[in-house]
Amino acid sequence: MKLNLNKAKIHYLYHDGFIIETKSNILIFDYFNDDVEKRTLQHGVICREALQTEKNVMVFVSHSHFDHFNPIIFSWKEINPSIKYILSTDIEKNDDFPEVIYISEGENIEVDDIEIKAYGSTDIGISFLVKVDGISIFHAGDLNWWHWKEDSDEENSAMEKAFKKEVEKLSNEKIDIAFFPVDHRLEEYYYLGGEYLIERVKPKLFIPMHFGDNPEITKSFKEKMTNRSSDIVEIHERGQEILF
Q: What is the rounded distance in angstroms from the CA atom of residue 177 to the CA atom of residue 179?
A: 7
Query: Domain 9-243 adopts which CATH fold?
Result: Metallo-beta-lactamase; Chain A (3.60.15)
CB 179 within 8 A of CB 119: no
The mean per-residue pLDDT over the stretch 1-9 comes to 65
Question: What is the residue extent of each domain of the chain?
Answer: 9-243
* Closest listed residue to residue 120, CA positions, set 152, 161, 153: 161
Q: What does the angle CA 112 – CA 121 – CA 227 come to, to the nearest 5 degrees?
A: 90
pTM listed for this prediction: 0.96
Task: Express each pLDDT in 154-165 by its tens digit.
Answer: 999 999 999 999
Task: Express each pLDDT in 190-209 by its tens digit.
Answer: 999 999 999 999 999 999 99
* Per-residue pLDDT at 144 exceeds 80: yes
CA dihedral 32, 35, 40, 42 (to 10 degrees): -80
Query: What percentage of the chain carries pLDDT values higher than 70?
Result: 98
Q: Phi and psi for 27 in degrees, rounded to 5?
A: -115, 135
Residue type, 95: D
Q: What is the DSSP letter of 79?
A: T
Residue 239 φ/ψ region, left for φ over 0, alpha for ψ in the -120 to 50 degree band, beta for the rest: left
Q: What does the angle CA 148 – CA 225 – CA 222 come to, to the nearest 5 degrees?
A: 85
Q: What is the rounded distance in angstroms from the CA atom of residue 174 to the CA atom of residue 72?
A: 33
Cβ contacts of residue 135 below 8 Å, gap of 6+?
Answer: 6, 8, 22, 176, 177, 244
